[in-house]
Amino acid sequence: MAAPDKKAIGARAFLYPMPTTLVGANVGGRPNYLAVAFCGIVQAKPAMISVALGRNHHTNAGIRENGTFSVNIPSRHMVEVTDYCGIVSGKKVDKSGLFETFYGKLETAPMIRECPVNMECKLVKTLDFGSTNEVFIGEIIESYAEEKYLCNGTPDIEKVVPILFSMYDNNYWEIGRHLGRAWCVGKKFNGNGNPENGYMGKSDSETLNK
């Protein structure tokens, strides 16, 4: 079946939204931090995360050197310093003084105290498809947050206020309104596959505020 209203827009990475993170690694014994949006969870338990870095970044050498790295979640008020970490290379500028660095169980994965959430990772696999990026997959050994960001022991996204990223247009966004509970709002859906069942055909504006 074709879809005449759909237009081919190129083989590009249109994932919406992406998270904006700061990936940390010690390079030659000095903490370095890079803004990274190419990341995703690859396993729930043991928890693993992938970060895909342009192959020429300074950070990559540090991840290889120590077999450790961190993924830090900056908050919206950190948008300037986060973007700055994506603009300047650790090869030219010492970024170790931009933040207060702390270490956890792995001892060599530098983490950013100012970021509401930190994950320290042990490298378990490196993927190289021979092109623009190197992919580092890490097992999350421990995570950290200040008490003020938590609700029942888990970070509260409304307190964290993370930064979203949209690629190609290159914009940062914050999170917006609550849409519903997962594994819950779907129970309202009458999934009988019938276009008259109340879902299909309704436009966003018709259904948004119901």
Chain positions 35 to 54 lying near a copy of itself, rule: CB under 8 A, are 37-50, 52, 54
DSSP state letters, 55-116: TT-HHHHHHHHHSEEEEEE-BGGGHHHHHHHHHS-TTTS--TTSS-EE--TTSSS-EETTSS
Stretch that binds a copy of itself, among 22-30, 59-67, 119-127 (CB under 8 A): 119-127
- Interface with a copy of itself includes 34 (CB under 8 A)? no
Cβ-contact 134, 126 below 8 angstroms = yes
Stretch that binds a copy of itself, among 22-30, 62-70, 130-138 (CB under 8 A): 130-138
Tell me phi and psi for residue 66, to 5 degrees: -105, -15
Stretch that binds a copy of itself, among 22-30, 57-65, 137-145 (CB under 8 A): 137-145
Residue 122 β-bridge partners: 68, 139
Q: Which of residues 51-110 bind a copy of itself (CB under 8 A)?
A: 52, 54, 71, 73, 75-88, 93-104
Q: Which of residues 146-185 bind a copy of itself (CB under 8 A)?
A: 146-147, 150-151, 153-157, 160-185
Shortest gap between Cβ of 198 and a copy of itself (angstroms)? Answer: 9
Nearest-angstrom CA–CA distance, 160 and 116 = 6
Shortest gap between Cβ of 69 and a copy of itself (angstroms)? Answer: 14
Indicate the helix (H) or strand (E) that contains 210: none
- Interface with a copy of itself includes 196 (CB under 8 A)? no
- Interface with a copy of itself includes 30 (CB under 8 A)? no
Two tokens, residue 3: 């879809």
